[in-house]
Every structure is written in structure tokens, then in C-alpha cells.
Structure 1
Amino acid sequence: SREKLDSYYCVLFNDEHHSYDHVIYSLQRALGCELGEAQLHTTAIDKEGRRAVKAGHYASCQEAKEEIKRHSENVSQRPLHVEVLHADVMAHQKFALRLGSWLNKLMGYSSDFRQIFCQICLKEEAGSEKPCFISRLMLWDAKLHKGARKVLHELIFSSFFMEMEYKKLFAVEFVKYYKTLQKEYISDDHDRVLSVTALSVQMFTVPTLARHLIEEQNVITTITETLLEVLPEYLDKNDKFNFQGYSQDKLNRVYAVIFDLRYVLVSKPAVWTDRLRERFLEGFVSFLRILTCMQGMEEIKRQIGQHIEVDPDWEAAIAIQMQLKNILLMFQEWCACDEELLLRAYRECHKAVLRCGTSGRLREKTAFHLCGHTLESRPYRVSADPVSIHLPLSRTLAGLHVRLSKTGAISRLHEFISPEEFQVELLVEYPLRCLVLVAQVAAEMWRRNGLSLISQVFYYQDVKCREEMYDKDIIMLQIGAAFMDPNQFLLLILQRYELADAFRKVKLSKDPDLIKQYNMLIEEMLQILIYVTGERYVPGVSNVTKEEVVMREIIHLLCIEPMAHSAITKSLPENENNETGLENVIDKVATFKKPGVSGHGVYELKDECLKEFNMFFYHYTKTQHSKAEHTQKKRRKQENRDEALPPPPPPEFSPAFSNVVRILNCDVMMHILRTILQRAVELETHLWTEAMIQMVLHLLSLGLLEEKQQLQKSPEEEVTFDFYHKATRMGSSALNAVNVLMLLEKLKRVPQLEAQKDTVNWILQMFDTVKRLREKSSVTTVMSTSGSEATKGDEAQSTQDKEKAERKRKAEAARLHRQKIMAQMSALQRNFIETHKLLYENTLEAQGKDDAVMEEESMSSAIDCSKIALGPKRGPSVAEKEVLTCILCQEEQEVKLESAAMVLSACVQKSTALTQNRSRILELSG
């Protein structure tokens, strides 16, 4: 029969699960071939994707197939992919591949043939539900071997991608079957470059084509829905992602879908149509569903008693955050292009955040009282309840809010969300919990939770993630500060940081570990308050540009130490085009110092940029903060200046954030500042540290700078910010009550805070400056008719102030110079004493005896003799003391014959005129 005469092939296919050595070993064992032959087979399989390793009857080929599978299973978890194919099938497949290569060459010569080919491939059969030819080929892509895939992709490139019209039609077909193609790619084991899905970059990055696909094919929604469909296995019972026990290979393939979303959004449209607006918003809402699954995912709870046994997986969640970072930024930028779209997107995002925040509403509200103010909130403790570091929804809302402020569209926000619906306390709640978690990790309260949490906190603040994590949480707190009553905002902060008792008259534990924990939490809380009130270099939070933001980042990096170009680049966040913006601004703030014989060139900060240094810059790590502070204090010391490092005047908040400054002068803030300063002054409690005092002084500086700027800009009656009055007001009606100003005066006398003395003096000077500005403003208001005289008086006062400051500077410089000279003299004196030790001891001994004898004689003579001025019994006369001042060290000393010798400088030189014995040689020992 024909079946007996038919020949078959045993065909071995390539996969990504077996190594070269595994395949060679399996072929040698199964086929009994030599090493060289097995290597030839393996090389061909890797290059073309398949190879016929045995030809013959069906039975022999089937036997070879089973042997190859059996041996390959011994060295790997899964067997090699082997098929037995009829010789005719192999011939047809070989012919199809040759035909594909020939068509590929032909289309390079003839554009007419190319167009005919495209038309036929796109033609659908009338009345049939079958896809067109090119769609069928794409859907077969995952089933083809490597060689066939290469031919197919080359065919698409040389035909459809050479004609813009057909490229658009091909893209439509591609998007139509996008979900199926991506699912097959994720199930496949071949690399991305060998998949038809890799062609997406050729279509989605063309601006006109991307816009067409958004409008006509709703590609953003298609991509986001694909993401949700390929990740259902990672959803828990609460519909939140949980990547415990995830497959790294599968997630890497899922990233391809995320990349496609990035390609579509890479170029913003210049013109918006109603259809484009609707389709984009539909896609954005679909994307919010992904963020909803991530909001609060992988919650953790503090371990108490026993250390966690196994560190949970954290890399997958952080990796997805990194992949989505640029997409989140691009979505926000697209929304900001159109005011109507921005407001609608903000409303949708706001709804999504509120939906996710319903879980904690079951608890009854409790009241918290302090300084005559009350906060009612639902009880929650980060140290006891579940908390998550993943909050992409809240952070997206913060990004959109900043863009509302920047574009001015925030004035219309009430049209889309009423003040009652806004619920700012709920918006602030989750980012605040996250920041408290970071503070508690720093206070070593989560040590039993292992390295997993420490790694998450590291990435949360690292340059790779901070732009869409940490920075956005600070912005969300600024939004809360702008909308909430300042006292209630601070009460919420105190409650979430679990520091309510630390600032009430409650007797705290004396356990040193608990005190250390309290101190760390207070420091972290003060630091966040500094960031909320002082960090304004965000477009929208204040009127700054992206270039100014990058310049500030570079300035603070170079304040630590001079850096190489690569080091600066690594420390700056990248945008969607992997650019940092460094090249555009580096020459404005730094000069390049060329390398020497060894080493590399570095950038050094220009002197005029040093005034922009902020010791509590929010992107500094603790190590960078300490290093920058040390470097700047050392520089100021070398310049014979004081070591005060006050904050630079911050840019003015934009109108949407202008209420944030009210935090600085509210009652609760004054209570916090007074309490910490009083603890330091009284020295009766351990609930304060030098770092804490530094932060309190920084907050005082921010308050005074804010009031100074407002007084210089507007007349006093228009300035409602009254930091000076609040700081100089008594804390209570008690007899021993003090104000901040009095505490600062006392602080200068605390020996442990000697290093902060210059900063305290600077703040006291600022208090005087603000006081004068208020007095000057009052005088100007009352005596408006004599404006010129007042101006002259102010000018005279200003001149006096300048003279006083100049005198003080010179006196300080003289003091430092004297200290330096005295130190040198002391060193020389010690050296001299060491050299002439014996002589010095004899002199001191003799001097001591003489002093004792003289003292005895003077005392006895004073007792024996009466005070008679004239006559034979006249008493001893008292010699007048002669006191001289040393011109070098300014020390005063009585001149006596028997006292210490006076040192005179002299020059010893051999003289040819004033000598009797010219043959004598002088040995110069001086």
C-alpha cells in the first residue's frame, strides 16, 4: 500500500526551555549519533527553528520521537517539542517559505505588485466570518517555527509598512485581534523579537496613526482591557493584585502590553476633537480599573513578638510600578492638554479613589482634643492595622490636581465636584498612612517584618520610583493642607504618627527604647511638615518651570560634593523619552573641572548658586543630608562666616495651594514648636534631640521668611499671616508661661546646642527684621501724608542696620583671626617648652619660691607696720601697678622685675662696625 511506501520526517523544534547541551545530549542518546552531527542539528534548530533529525518510515520516526522526548525529560522539566511530519507536508512548507522570500524580493522592485499584494491580503470573503489572509497569518504566528516567522515578518515589512495607506489598514487589523495576539504571545516561549506583536512599535509610535487608532479603534481601551484579561490569576478575593508566587517570565511578557500603551501615548495631540476626547476618556477610565486593582495591593501588618518566617515577594509589585511610572505621567500630560478633558478625568479619578476608601468607614469616629481644637476621625493605627505602600490612584489624582492648578482649570472644579463631595480627609488618609509607615520603619518599629519591607521603602524614595510615589504623597498632603483647617490637619498628622500623647500633658514611659522611638517619630513628622510647607518646586504647586526643578536637583546634588556627569545623570529622574534635562541647564549652575593625570572630570557648583542650598531638601537621604550639611558648614567656616544654614526664600505658592502656609502659624503648630523648645531648655526630659531642634528652627525660619515676603509685597493690613505675633505670644496664662522668642534666647545658653547658636542668632535677627517691617508698615499707613520723611527714615534705619551688620561681621572676623593666632602661639609655646624642658622647670620652680617669699614678706610687713606716711616710723610705700596689654594676644599683665619676662622681637646679625673681636664667629641659634 501507499502508506508503506510513504516517507516521514522526525522534526525537532526549537524552544527556550532547553540549553544547547541539553539538546546535544538528548540527540546523542536518542539517535546514537556522533557529537559533531548532534552539534550540527542543534545549531540549525537554533537558527531556523526546526530540523529534520531522522527520515524513514512512520514507525521509526515515531520511535525516534519518543526516545528524544524521554531523554530530554531526564535533564529538564518538560520534553523537547518533536513532531512526525509527512514528506509532502515538509515539501509544501519548504516551498511556502521559498515563495515568501521570493515575494519579499519582488515587492522591493515593484510598487504596483506591492499594492496588489496588500489588497489581496486585506480582502475579506463576502458573507464569511473568517478573517482576511493577513489576519489569519498573524493569528498563526505563535504556532509557526522561527524561520517561518522571520519570513512572515519580512513580508509584512516589505509590503504593508512601505505604503502609509496600507500600514493604517494593517494597524486596524492588528488592533482588531490585539487581545488574541497578546494572549498567544504570553503563552508562547519564544522571544519578543520573534513575535508579530513586536510590530506594534512600528504603528503605535506614528502620531497620526496612533490618533486614528484611538479615535476609530479605541486602542487605549483595547490595551488596558488586555492587561486586565492576562492578569486575573493574580487578583485576590478583594480584586486587588497579589503577586506572591508569580512567574517572572510571564510578567516580563505582560510588560510588552504596558510598553504598547506607552507607545500610543508617546506623542500628545495638538488638536482635540470631540470623538478623540471621548475615546481617550474611555481609555483613561479603563486604565483606572487597573490602578484600582493596584490601590492598596499587598497590604502588610506589623509583626509583633515573632519575626516573619519567610520574606514575601515584593519585586513584582515594585517592577510594575516602575513600568507604569512613565505611563502615569503621560496620561496626566494628555489630560492637561485640554481643560474640559482634565476636569472630567479628575472627576473620574476622584470617584475611583473614594470607592477604594470605603473599607475603613465601618468604625465609629472618635474625638481628639488639643489646644482648644477638636478632630473627629475614625480610629486607625499604622502600627496595628494593615497598610500598603501601593497607591497609584491617589497619586494620579495628586498629579491631576497639580495640573488643574497649573492650567487655572481648578477655578471650575466646583462645577464637577461639589465641596461636600470632595472629602479631602479621605483623599489625604492613604498617602499619610504610607508616610507614617516609612517613619515607623525608620524608627525600627517594623524590624520583625524582614528585608521585604525595607526594600519597598527604599524604592518608594529612590530616584526610579519617587516621582510617582513619594513626591505625589507629599503633594497630596499639600492638597490636604490647602483644603483643611490647619489645626485639624495637624491634629490628623499627630494622630496618624501616634504622637498625640507626646504633645499632651501625659506622663510618658521612661523606657529608653520607647523614648528613642518617640524621638525618631517626632523627627520624621517634623521633616514631613517642613516638606509640606517648604517644598514648592513643582509646576502647579508654585509658578516654577521644569528647567528650574532640574536646576534645583543639580544644585543640591553638587552641594554634597563635586560630581561626574554620569553620577548626576543617575541621580535625576528620567522622562518618557529617557531624558533627564541635565544637558539644558548644567552650564547655568555648574562649571566643569577637567580631569588631571588620573581620575575623571567633575562639575563644581557655581558660587552664586550656593544661596539656594536647603539643608532639608526632600530628595536627600539621611546620609546625603549629613554630608551636605557638613560640606556647607565647612565651606562657611573657611570663609570666616557663621555656620547658620537657614532655608532660601521659597517661591510663592500658586493660588490653589496658598492656604498651605496657614499651617506654620496655627495654634497646634505653635504648641508643637513651644513644647519641643521648652524640653530642650529645661533639660528635664529625654524627649528631644539636636536634630529635632534643627527642624524646629527650620520651621521657624520658614514662618519668618513667609511673613517677611508677604510684608514686603503688601501693606500690613492686607497681610493675615501673623507668625511673628503668634511666636511672641505666651503659650498660656500661667505665671511661668513663655513664648517662642523667650525660649530661643534661653536656647543659646544650652551647652548641648552650641552648634545651633548661629542659627538661633539668625532667627532672632529675622524676628527683629519682621518686627521692623510691621512697625514700618504701620507708620506708613498712619502717616501717609509724610511719606517722603518716612522713606528717608527707613533709608537711614537701613543704612544703620547695614553698618551694624558690617561692624558685627568685622568683629567676628577679628575674633576668628585672634583664635587662629592664639592657636598657633600655643603650638609654638608647647614646642618651645618641649625643647627646653629642663630650663623651663628650673625657671618655674625658682619663680614659685620667689613668689612665695615675696608674698610672705609683704604680708608680714603689712601686719607689722602702721600706716604712717612721714617721719622716722614711716611705713612701707605701695608701688603703683603697671599693667600692659600684649599687642598680639590682647592679654593684660602686670609688669614686675620678679614676674614673667617680657618678650621682645629682635634680629641678630653679625656686625662689621660694632665689634671688638672680628675673628669671633657668632652661632645664630634663633
Structure 2
Amino acid sequence: MEQCRHVQQTIRIQKLLNYLQNIIEISDGFRRIFCECEIECDDELDDITRTEKVLLSEKMLWKSARSALHEIFINSFFMDSEWKKTFGILYMKAKYLISSHNAFETIVDSFLEYCQSKLDHSKLLFSRATNASIQHQFRRAQSILYDLKYLLGVAPQEYTTELRENFLNGFRAFLQLLTYMHGMDKVTRQVGQYVEFDPEWETAFNLVIKIQSIISSILDWCTRDKELLLDAYEATGFALAEIQKTSDVSHLIKDKNNSSIVKTTVNHLKIDCYVYDVAKYPISVHISVVRLIVALHIYLQKYTNTATTFNNLCEKLTIYPCFIYEEALRIQVLCAQHVAGLWKRNGYSLSNQIYYYSNVKCRKEMYDRDILALQVGASLTPSDTYLIQLMHKFNLLEWIRSPEYGHSSQTESKIKEKVRIMEEFLHLLIIIVGERHEPGVGKITREENLTREVIHQLCISPMAHSELIRGLQDCGQLELGSGDFEAVLKEVADFKRGNATKGNYELKANRLSEYNQFYYHYSKADQCKSEEYVIKRRKLNDDACLYRSTDPKAQLWSEPILNRALHLITLACYEQERKSNFEFYSKCQKFELEKLINQLHLNTPSKAETCKELLAYVIKLYNKFNETNEQLNSSTITTTQETSDLTKRAQRKRKDLAAQKHEQQISSIESPSPGISSQLSSSLISPSDQQILSTSPNTLF
């Protein structure tokens, strides 16, 4: 009986909703009355309108009723601009909800409840063996995160104490979620045999994609207020300190006297390096807390000294300074070893993770943040220390110390692995040094950053408008409805309409000079395509470490190593032009780099023919420095000679004057007439000589 009554009520309500919808569509007066009634409260003491009550209880309605209700709101409120604004205000109470109802923390806590069943040693763990219904339940729970996206979508202009406090409560809860994600889906290199089955990895990446926009909104909130930014930075530092204490390197510490930091000696320099061998121990591509703290770090310069703030945080929380980029560096080593073929036995799961790690869908909060972490580390660490730490992690110090001068007794496969890892290491150095076109890292605006991204996308091939839009939106470079893109596209590209195909945008010829073949958003395939396209556009042929390159029998080198080394030298030359105190030229003279480059140019190996034009360009830049240095030296010599001549002249005049004075004294003894003596003195010293004497620093008068 109860079920029949429930069905009758459902049918009656559905018919009533359809009736209201039909009346609203044909009667403008009824629509206005309906809107007025909906924004009123049922009780004077009640501050919630009828519309809000309907929206809050919407989750209890069935699908067809919700759909009908949405259509009624669209046909009533959205038909008039004023009522549309009134209805929109109901959705703009995010600031009020966060400050007064702690909505940020409440939403995150709701999602954390669903995460509890997925935790293993305080880390999220996903498995293919999990019941399908449980997996579906967790996927549905991720929809909660969309509420955060809308809640934090618009940052406030003014911050109250209550708003800051409740936002930080939600921020700490969100940090707990990132801590659960930090280090999930760890992998260890398979040595003996292949993995029996590929582990589950998709859920973790789907979760990363969902929180990307939330992290962007959180950064927007934090960067608008100094107090909030510093509090969030410190809270993230606490989370990072806890992660460092429970880091996987702890299993290497056998007693209290041992440390995760070891001393590495290179060329009489003793450098602290973090103990961790990527090829032996577990590693994860998910390091969410590190990525958040470096994202906050680059905004500190707006309010305070970044280095001082960072050092104080490390001292207060006992964080190793190198730990801020240590885990990001491990991932780069993992990618290099994967390219070299050291992780073949780990199956497709790891290959897919590395692919999506730098893919357009995930790279904003994964690969790009890791490069940022390495750049932050480079800015906070002495250059020698930083470079040795990188080479220690890539296990390349022995390659540098190699006494056989490029020769090796290892097997051919080991040599290829070592050479490939060296190529990836140099590529990483190029990215760290050259890819500073990000707001907060370099002096660049978002529009200039967008321009550079569009240029390098069009260097791959001409593209349609929709292709460019889709790619830029996926990587987070472009917001929906942004007018900046159209202006940038008009500035850098020409539209070429096809006869039978769609029209494409083609990069302007004067913008080809801004192309960088080692652009960090290029995949290997994109890099090859871009090189071919740019060479074709420039109508050139395909003629696009130094010690071992000059040795025809050397094994531990390759053409890409030489190419990357020359590219780094070119970047250093540009930096020398920009900063006169960079001292790259003096260091080149110390290590006789010019001699090596000229020797390489005269005896270019057959396997390095494609580098000869880049080599010629490096020689041109170096000769330019030689000319500039010679001009400076000649001008310095001329100035020194002029100063020396002036000093000698002044000394000679002083001697003459002393002799004249002596003669005057003798004459005054013989003839003590003061008038004659005064006239003699004034006649012997010319006006110009008097000026020299008066300006000389060593004058006695």
C-alpha cells in the first residue's frame, strides 16, 4: 500500500513540474511571480530561500524530477538578466561558506573518509583485484572534488581573520590528501624476471587530473595575501618534514650515527649528496607535497626574501635543503634509465606512467612542477654542489673520472646505456638552465609564456584553430573564453586556407628564430617532427664532452652528447652577453676551451657531421668574446699609459720646480729683493704647469 502511495505521489509531482514548465514558457507574468516567490523565505526568522532549500534537497530527488526542476529554473530565472543575476548570487557564496561554515575542510574531510579504505601504510593503494563495486564507489566519491573546484573558483579581494583561519583548516585537510598521494604506486626495478602482471596505475593518474584545477585555485587564493601564503608555506613544510622522516632512504640507516647524507669528493670538493639508488630502491612518480611547496615558493618573492624564508623553514623543521628537489631528481633519473632500457622487465605499467607523467593531460602538476623544483634547487644551492649532486644521482661521476679517457672495457650494451643516460642528463641541464619562461621563475608575463607555447606547437606542423585550443586547454595554458589566445595567434601565425581541406595556422617566418629544438614540452616524436619542419621552412640541409669528441676511438660519447654540450655552451655565451659578471669567458680560457673547439672544428668526426654548423656558431660567439676582450684590454692599456704619462710629467715638473726654488733661495741670499724673487718664480712656472701641480695627488704645495 505504501509503495502504491509513493508511486502516485511521484507521478503527481512529475505532472505538476511539467505543468509549471509549460505555464512559465507561455506566460511572462507567471514567470515573474514564480521568480519572486522562489527567492522569498518561508519564515521571517529563516534566512534560507525556497530556491536554496530546493537545491539543498536536490540529492533526494530522482533523475527525471531533477531534470524537470533544472528546466524550470532555466526557463524562469535565466530568461531575464536581473533574475539571472539574483539566481547567480546564490552560487557566489563561496567566501561566506568558507569563512562561516568551514566548507573547504568539510568537503575535503568527506572525501578523506572514502580514502580510508584505500590506505596501506598511510598511502593510497589501488589494485585490479578490488571488487568492482568498491572501485565504482571510489570513482563516484571523486565527484566530491568538483565541489572544491567551484568553491575555490573565485578568489576574494579582501581577507578576514576568520576567512584565513578556515581556509587554512581546509588547506591542512587537503595537505592530508596530498600526503596520502605522495609516494603511491611505487615501483622497484625488476632484475631477474619480468613482472607477472601489470599493476593498476590508472586510478592514481585520474585523481591527479581531478585535483589539478583545485591546486591552481588554492595557489590563486594564497598568492593574494602575504599572511595566508606564509602560513600555507609553513604548513606544507611540516608535511614535507614528516615525509622526509618516513622516506624510503631510512632503511639504509643502520644506526643513529649513520645519515642519509654522504660526502662525495670531486676535484678536491667535498659535497653532501643524498643516498638513494633509483635502480635499486622503490620510486614513485607521485610527489604531490614537493610539487605544492615549490609552487608556493616562487610566489614568496612578492612579499619576502625567498632564500631566507626557505633556510629558516629548513632549520626550524630539520629539512635537508636538497630534499626539496631530491625526489623530483629521482624521477628524472628514472625516466633516463627507462629510455636507456634499464626498466624493460617492469612491463607496460611503468611505460604508461612515464608517458602520462609528461603528457599534456598531467604535466602541469607533474613534469612541469618537477622541473620547477629542480630550478628552485639550483637557485638555492651553490653551482658546484648542485651539479655534483645531479651527477651523483645519475651515477655519472665515474664517467667523468674515467681514466681511460672515453674508452671502456664494459660490454657494448653497458656502454650504450651509459651514453644514453649521459644524453638525458645533458638534456635535463639544458631544460633547467634554458626553460625559465615561467612567471615567477623568469621576468616574463603569462602572455609571453603563451606566445612561446604557441610558437613551439606551430613548429611541429601547421595546425587548425581547434587543435591549438584543445592542446593549450588540456595543459592548463589557456582558460576558457580567454581573449589572449586570439591576439597571440594573430601576432605569430598566418592563416592558410586549404583548397579541399580545413584551413591551418602557419608560423610566421620571422618567428622561426625563436625555435628551440630542446623545448621541454616536446616528446621525442615532437622533437623529430619539429626539426624536420623547421629545416624545411629554412630551406636548409640536415646540418642542423668535447674532449672525447676529438678522440676518433672514444666509445663513451655520441653525437647527441656533443650536440647538447654545444647547446649548453651557447646558452652560457648568451648569459655572458646578458651579465658581464658571469665569468664564463675567463673560465673558458682557464680550461683552454677555445683550443678544444677549434681542434674539433678542424677534425670533425664523421659521426658528428650534423653538429658542424652549431660548432661553427659557437666559434663565432667565442671569437666575438675575444674581440670584445681585446678591445677592453687595449682601452685599459691606453688608459694606463695615459695615466702613467701624466704622472711622469707631474713628477718632472715637481723636480723642475724644486730646482727653481733652490735657485731662488740661492739668489735670495745673494740678492734678498722680494719683488725680483716673486717675479722670477711666477715667470718660471706656466699656468698649465700650475694646474698640473695643483691637481696632482702627490704635490707638496
Q: TM-score, normalised by structure 2?
A: 0.79
The aligned residue for residue 690 of structure 2 is none
Equivalent residue for 1:765? 620
Q: What is the CA-CA distance between 1:470 and the residue it aligns to?
A: 0.7
Per-residue deviation, 1:161: 11
Is the 8 Å Cα contact of residues 343 and 413 (structure 1) preserved in structure 2?
Answer: no
**Equivalent position SS for 1:682:** coil
Q: Deviation digits for residues 175-232 of structure 1, max 9, x if unmatched?
A: xxxxxxxxxxxxxxxxxxxxxxxxxxx879944x111111111111111111111222
Distance 2:69 2:531 in 1: 62
Among candidates 96, 101, 105, match of residue 221 of structure 1: 105
2:553 corresponds to which letter in structure 1?
E
Other-structure match for 2:151: 264
- What's 1:705 paired with? 574
Match of residue 232, structure 2, among 345, 363, 371: 345
Q: Does 2:118 align with 1:118?
A: no
* Fraction of identical pairs, as percent: 32
1:84-140 superposed Cα distances (whole Å, 9 cap, x missing partner): x4655555565566667778879846469826973259959xxxxxx9999998887
Contact in 1 for aligned 2:123/2:184 (Cα 8 Å)? no
Residue matched to 1:461: 358
Gap change, CA 1:616 and 1:204, over 3 Å in 2 = farther
Residue of structure 2 aligned with 1:562, choices 443, 458, 462: 462
* Structure 1 residue 556 displacement after superposition: 1.6
- Cross-structure match for 1:542: 442
Counterpart check, 1:754 vs 2:618: no
Opposite residue 759 of structure 1, the aligned amino acid is L
> For 1:512-549, what per-residue CA distance to the aligned partner results, in whole angstroms no more than 9, with x for missing partners?
11111111100000000111111110011111011111
Residue identity matched to 1:692: I
Q: Say if 2:126 and 2:200, in contact at 8 Å, map to a contact too.
A: no
Q: Indicate if the aligned counterparts of 2:178 and 2:288 stay in contact, CA closer than 8 A.
A: yes
1:245-394 aligned within 5 A? 245=129, 247=132, 249-358=136-245, 359=247, 360-361=249-250, 363=253, 364=259, 365-394=261-290
Select the residue among 297, 300, 319 that pairs with 1:401. Answer: 297
Amino acid at match of 2:563: Q
Give the C-alpha shift of residue 692 in structure 1.
Answer: 0.7
Q: Is the 8 A contact 1:497 1:525 kept in 2?
A: yes
Residues 273-672 of structure 1 correspond to what in structure 2 (within 5 A)?
273-358=160-245, 359=247, 360-361=249-250, 363=253, 364=259, 365-405=261-301, 410=306, 413=309, 417=313, 421=317, 423-505=320-402, 508-572=408-472, 573-574=475-476, 577-578=479-480, 581-596=484-499, 598-638=500-540
CA distance in 1, matches of 2:427, 2:548: 19
Q: Offset at 1:709?
A: 1.8
Kindly tell me: are residues 288 and 163 of structure 1, through their superposed partners in 2, closer, same or farther at Cα, counting changes over 3 Å? farther
The question of whether the paired residues in 1 share the 8 Å contact of 2:262 and 2:274 is answered with yes
Asked whether the 8 Å contact 2:189–2:346 carries over to 1, the reply is: yes
- Matched residue count: 615
In structure 2, the CA distance between the partners of 1:152 and 1:501, relative to structure 1 (3 Å rule), is same
Per-residue CA shift, 1:854-909, capped at 9, x if unaligned?
A: xxxxxxxxxxxxxxxxxxxxxxxxxxxxxxxxxxxxxxxxxxxxxxxxxxxxxxxx
1:729 corresponds to = 590
Q: Using the alignment, how far apart are the partners of 1:565 and 1:152 within structure 2? A: 37
Give the secondary structure class of the aligned counterpart of 1:703.
helix
- Is the Cα contact below 8 Å between 1:681 and 1:747 reproduced in 2? yes
- For residues 476-505 of structure 1, what are the alpha-carbon distances to aligned partners after superposition, in whole Å with 9 as ceiling and x for unaligned? 111111111212211211121122221123
Deviations 1:48-97 (A, max 9, x none): xxxxxxxxxxxxxxxxxxxxxxxxxxxxxxxxxxxxx4655555565566
SS at match of 1:366: strand
Q: What value does the CA root-mean-square deviation take over the aligned residues?
A: 3.7
1:205, 1:264 within 8 Å by CA — same for their partners in 2?
no
Moved more, 364-373 or 288-297: 364-373
Secondary structure class of the residue paired with 1:445 = coil
- CA gap of 1:407–1:764, structure 2 versus 1, over 3 A, is farther
Distance 1:241 1:168 in 2: 45
CA distance in 2, matches of 1:514, 1:228: 46
- Asked if residue 683 in structure 1 is aligned to residue 552 in structure 2, the reply is yes
TM-score (norm 1): 0.61
Do the aligned partners of residues 234 and 333 (structure 1) sit closer, same or farther apart at CA in structure 2, a change above 3 Å counting?
same
Amino acid at match of 1:424: P
What residue in structure 2 maps to residue 237 of structure 1? Answer: 121
CA distance in 2, matches of 1:441, 1:122: 66
- The answer on whether the counterparts of 2:189 and 2:343 sit within 8 Å (CA) in structure 1 is yes
Q: Per the alignment, do residues 158 and 411 of structure 1 end up closer, same or farther by CA in structure 2, a change over 3 Å counting? A: farther
User: Which secondary structure state, in structure 1, belongs to the residue aligned with residue 476 of structure 2?
Assistant: coil
Query: Runs of 5+ in structure 1 lacking a partner?
Result: 1-7, 9-84, 125-130, 170-201, 646-675, 712-718, 731-738, 788-926
Contact 1:307–1:450 (Cα < 8 Å) also in 2: yes
Greater Rg by CA: 1
Q: What is the distance in 1 between the residues matched to 2:315 and 2:193?
A: 46
CA distance in 2, matches of 1:309, 1:144: 47
Give the 3-state SS of the residue equivalent to 1:423 in structure 2. coil
Contact 2:115 2:124 in 1 (8 A): no
Inter-CA distance 220–160: structure 2 relative to 1 (3 Å threshold): farther
Summarize the Cα distance change of 1:707–1:100 in structure 2 as closer, same or farther, 3 Å threshold: closer
- After superposition, residues 161-180 of structure 1 pair within 5 angstroms as none
1:237/1:726 CA distance change after superposition, 3 Å: same
Shift of 1:764: 1.5
Q: Structure 1 residues 245, 773: closer, same or farther in 2, change over 3 A?
A: farther
The 1:784–1:565 alpha-carbon spacing in structure 2 relative to 1, beyond 3 Å, is farther
Q: Which amino acid in structure 1 is aligned with residue 590 of structure 2? A: R
Q: 1:430 to 1:99 in 2, by over 3 A?
A: same
Aligned residues of 1:243 and 1:317 also touching (Cα < 8 A) = no
Structure 1 residues 160 and 600: CA distance shift in structure 2, 3 A: closer
Residues 339/312 of structure 1: CA separation in 2 closer, same or farther (3 Å cut): same
**SS of 2:271 mapped into structure 1:** strand
Paired AA for residue 596 in structure 2: L
- Supply the distance in 2 between the matched residues of 1:239 and 1:688 (Cα, whole angstroms): 42
Equivalent-residue separation in structure 1 for 2:308 and 2:189 (angstroms):
43
Q: Distance in 2 between matches of 1:728 and 1:219?
A: 63
Secondary structure class of the residue paired with 1:624: helix
Q: 1:349, 1:374 → 2: CA distance?
A: 31
**AA partner of residue 685 (structure 1):** A
**Aligned pair in 2 of structure 1 residues 163, 628: CA closer, same or farther (>3 Å)?**
closer
Q: Name the CA distance, whole Å, in 1 between partners of 2:431 and 2:470.
A: 23
Residue 475 to residue 777, structure 1, CA distance change in 2 (3 Å): farther
- Secondary structure in 1 matching 2:193: coil
1:780 to 1:264, Cα distance in 2 relative to 1, 3 A: farther
Answer yes or no: is the 8 Å Cα contact 1:406–1:541 preserved in 2.
Answer: no
Q: Could you tell me whether the CA contact under 8 Å between 2:364 and 2:476 is conserved in 1? A: no
Q: Please list every run of 5 or more consecutive structure 2 residues that lacks an aligned counterpart in the other structure.
A: 25-29, 254-258, 643-701
Q: Tell me by how many angstroms 1:778 deviates.
A: 4.7
Aligned to 1:864: none
Does the CA-based 8 Å contact 2:462-2:506 persist in structure 1? yes
Any idea what SS the aligned residue of 2:142 has? Answer: helix
**Could you say which residue in structure 1 is the equivalent of 2:679?**
none
Contact kept in structure 2, 1:694 and 1:756, CA below 8 Å: yes
CA distance, structure 1, for counterparts of residue 197 and residue 302 of structure 2: 46
CA distance in structure 1 between the aligned counterparts of 2:506 and 2:454, rounded to whole angstroms = 10
